[in-house]
Amino acid sequence: MSKITVVVCDHIHQKGLDILANDADINLINAADEPKEKLISEIIPIADVAITRSSTDVDQKFLDNAHNIKSIIRAGVGVDNVDIEGCSKKGIVVMNVPTANTIAAVELTMTHMLSCVRQFPYAHNNLKLDRVWRRQDWYGTELKDKKLGIIGFGNIGSRVGKRAKAFEMDVIAYDPYIDPRKVSDLDITYTSDFEDILSCDIITIHTPKNKETIGMIGSKEINKMKDGVVLINCARGGLYDEDALLEGLTSGKIHMAGIDVFNKEPATQHPLLDLNNVTLTPHLGANTKESQQNIAIQAAENAIAAAKNIAYPNALNLPIKENELPDFLRPYLELIQRMGNISAQATRSKIKSIKISTQGNVSEYIDSLTTFATVGILSESLEDSVNYVNAEFVAQERNITISKESIVNHSGLSNKVCIKMLTNDGTFSISGTVFGENTSRIIDIDGYQLDLEPKGTMILFRNTDVPGVIGDVGHIISSHKLNISDFRLGRDKNSQALAVVKVDGKVTKNLLSDLEALKTCLNVTHVNI
């Protein structure tokens, strides 16, 4: 049997290289110091598996030369430099290493927290650089008995909570997508009311970066916080609105902030650097020797497993060789994933069960449709940590029951796909079909018949079906300087209606509050697809 060629494109820890070099079935090529042009044109064509980091872009040029590659391992969490869709079309499995830097990120969060409350960097500089011994200038506060608000209670947020408890802090967690027992089992308070977080002494954020979380802490939220609050962000740039953060720090509303990540990096000219009440680090979340070693080891082990077709740990995509799929199926896979994402955004609640039903010829592929639907649903809260390979396993870990059924087709349509979700707040159902070759449509939401393209920013407004509602809704939306690009209405036999209003621009909390204040409103939410 010929050896399998694994190419390491960027520098990784020596432990990872040793694992690859010591496997008798692997031909290791360490090309980390090779010019990129040579790597792409001469080395990648002979590779079976590639390990990359941020220095090598897996773009169209890379893929055009990847004649034999079956798997690509991104040694780290982020995959912004990898064309995942392009890899899928070539049948290349993309994997990352999402948990190797967990402890490093947790400990950096605690470092920033302690540095903020004790103003450690400034006291250090005052003594070491200025040679000034003034203890009276550096009175800090203690973590003990302070209330810590944690936004996002996944692998990192939960471990921050454990360590904060060891400091005898009063910890409260907000994460609408988890089972509250995950929090209460750690003797930490769970809240479903975001306002509870805003009343804390210290707030730290550990969510994915997605449509729902970008800028989730802005001026409005900061104004509701305690005077002298401390804010920490060692997760992802942009979760805090940086303009609002700067304003709060400048005014003194925010006592201190600990920031490791920025909207645009490197951030060497960022205005936050000019302030004397912020601790800043250059995106060091994964920068520990242990973390880099763990990343390299896991990347090497994953590469070997993939090379030998044993397993594909943390796979981020489903290899799709287009010539192996029936032409009619592809738009249904995309449609049901979008339907799943709409379902998650429309409910924004802990999911208990997911049921997929199909009618027509698509029923032959119900397993694949279920996988795509589950990815669409869970990716809203989990982002990169859910994929086509692990989706149903991740759902099982979250105690989400998944079921599926093929129904005799009496719909009058060639094919129909449906999702029904049960959440802590009730049920949500959505159905769709594809007309012609590739015209996807949502045809039903919660029993209201519609004809809706699953794309764009949409307000879902459920109301009592009385005269004047459409005018009221349109007036409020226009008062928020938004243009209505489409308006779809479904009615039922119980004098209720569901309006789906597409708008050009961002839906704000203030807009939703104004719509909710209408006497005719039963509930209102929004989605962005």
Which domain CATH number covers 488?
A: 3.30.70.260
Q: What is the pLDDT of residue 1?
A: 55
- Considering only 40-54, 401-415, 419-433, which range has the smallest mean pLDDT? 401-415
What number of CA atoms fall less than 13 Å from residue 112's CA on the CB side? 31
Q: What is the pLDDT of residue 327?
A: 73
Q: How far apart are CA 374 and CA 529, in angstroms?
A: 16
Owner of token pair 């990648």 = 44
pLDDT in tens, 328-362: 888 899 899 999 999 999 998 889 999 999 999 89
- Is 318 or 353 the better-scoring residue by pLDDT? 353
Residue at which a domain ends, from 280, 315, 337: 280
Calculate what percentage of the chain has a pLDDT beyond 90. 75
Within-domain flag for 503: yes
Within-domain flag for 135: yes
Within-domain flag for 149: yes
Domain co-membership, 274 together with 168: yes
Length of the chain in terms of residues written: 529
Active site residues: 236, 265, 283
Task: List residues bridging with 73 in a β-sheet.
Answer: 51, 95
pLDDT in tens, 220-273: 999 999 999 999 999 999 999 999 999 999 999 999 999 999 999 899 999 999
Q: What is the pLDDT of residue 384?
A: 55
pLDDT band at 477 (very low <50, low <70, confident <90, very high): very high
Q: How far apart are CA 169 and CA 161, in angstroms?
A: 9
- Is 116 or 137 the better-scoring residue by pLDDT? 116
Within-domain flag for 510: yes
pLDDT band at 111 (very low <50, low <70, confident <90, very high): very high
pLDDT in tens, 478-522: 999 999 999 999 998 888 999 999 999 999 989 999 999 999 999
Whether residue 389 has pLDDT greater than 80: no
Whether residue 324 has pLDDT greater than 70: no
Q: Please state whether 88 falls in left (phi above 0), alpha (psi between -120 and 50) or beta.
A: alpha
- Considering only 54-68, 73-87, 98-112, 170-184, which range has the smallest mean pLDDT? 73-87
3-class SS letters over 307-339: HCCCCCCCECCCCCCHHHCCCCCHHHHHHHHHH
Within-domain flag for 339: yes
CA-closest candidate to residue 147, choices 117, 180, 172: 172
Domain co-membership, 258 together with 149: yes
Task: List residues bridging with 444 in a β-sheet.
Answer: 431, 449
Owner of token pair 């086509």 = 388
Domain co-membership, 138 together with 76: no
Whether residue 451 has pLDDT greater than 90: yes
| Alpha-carbon torsion angle 477, 512, 254, 114, nearest 10 | -140
Whether residue 323 has pLDDT greater than 60: no
pLDDT band at 320 (very low <50, low <70, confident <90, very high): low
Token digits of residue 393: 């396993």
Token digits of residue 285: 């979340």
- Is 300 or 330 the better-scoring residue by pLDDT? 300
Task: List residues bridging with 233 in a β-sheet.
Answer: 205, 259
Q: How far apart are CA 248 and CA 47, in angstroms?
A: 51
Spatial neighbors of 142 by CB under 8 A, at least 6 apart, are 117
**Structural domain span for residue 233:** 102-280
Spatial neighbors of 228 by CB under 8 A, at least 6 apart, are 201, 252, 253, 254, 255
pLDDT in tens, 489-501: 999 888 899 999 9
Within-domain flag for 262: yes
Q: What is the pLDDT of residue 316?
A: 84
Q: What's the mean pLDDT in 190-217? A: 93
Q: What is the pLDDT of residue 211?
A: 77
Residue at which a domain ends, from 442, 473, 497: 442
Which ranges of 33-101 does DSSP label H, i.e. alpha helix? 36-38, 60-65, 84-89
CA-closest candidate to residue 91, choices 359, 323, 337, 352: 323
Within-domain flag for 490: yes
Largest CA distance in the chain: 83
Q: How far apart are CA 353 and CA 125, in angstroms?
A: 54
Token digits of residue 3: 């050896």
Calculate what percentage of the chain has a pLDDT beyond 70. 97
Q: What is the pLDDT of residue 294?
A: 94
How many domains does the chain contain in total? 4
At 299, which CATH number? 3.40.50.720
pLDDT in tens, 96-110: 998 888 999 999 999
3-class SS letters over 243-279: HHHHHHHHHCCEEEEEECCCCCCCCCCCHHHHCCCEE
Q: What is the pLDDT of residue 318?
A: 66
Helix axes 289-307, 102-118, angle to 10 degrees: 160
- Mean per-residue pLDDT over the chain, rounded: 92
Domain co-membership, 501 together with 514: yes
Token digits of residue 134: 């003034």
Domain co-membership, 418 together with 294: no
Whether residue 173 has pLDDT greater than 90: yes
Q: What is the pLDDT of residue 383?
A: 61
Q: How far apart are CA 481 and CA 122, in angstroms?
A: 44
Domain co-membership, 152 together with 195: yes
Within-domain flag for 448: no
pLDDT band at 319 (very low <50, low <70, confident <90, very high): low
Domain co-membership, 300 together with 273: no
Q: How far apart are CA 319 and CA 70, in angstroms?
A: 9
Domain co-membership, 218 together with 174: yes
Q: What is the pLDDT of residue 283?
A: 92
Q: How far apart are CA 10 and CA 52, in angstroms?
A: 6
**What are the two backbone dihedrals, phi and then psi, of residue 500, each rounded to the nearest 5 degrees?**
-115, 110
- Considering only 64-73, 115-124, 289-298, 303-312, which range has the smallest mean pLDDT? 303-312
pLDDT band at 32 (very low <50, low <70, confident <90, very high): very high
Q: What's the mean pLDDT in 297-313? A: 89
- Considering only 236-240, 281-285, 321-325, 393-397, which range has the smallest mean pLDDT? 321-325
Whether residue 433 has pLDDT greater than 70: yes
Counting beta carbons within 10 angstroms of the beta carbon of residue 239, is it exposed (0 to 12), middle (13 to 18) or buried (19 or more)? buried
Q: How far apart are CA 176 and CA 49, in angstroms?
A: 38
Range from 51-55, 165-169, 377-381 that averages highest in pLDDT: 165-169
Domain co-membership, 354 together with 465: no
Domain co-membership, 361 together with 393: yes
At 360, which CATH number? 3.30.1330.90
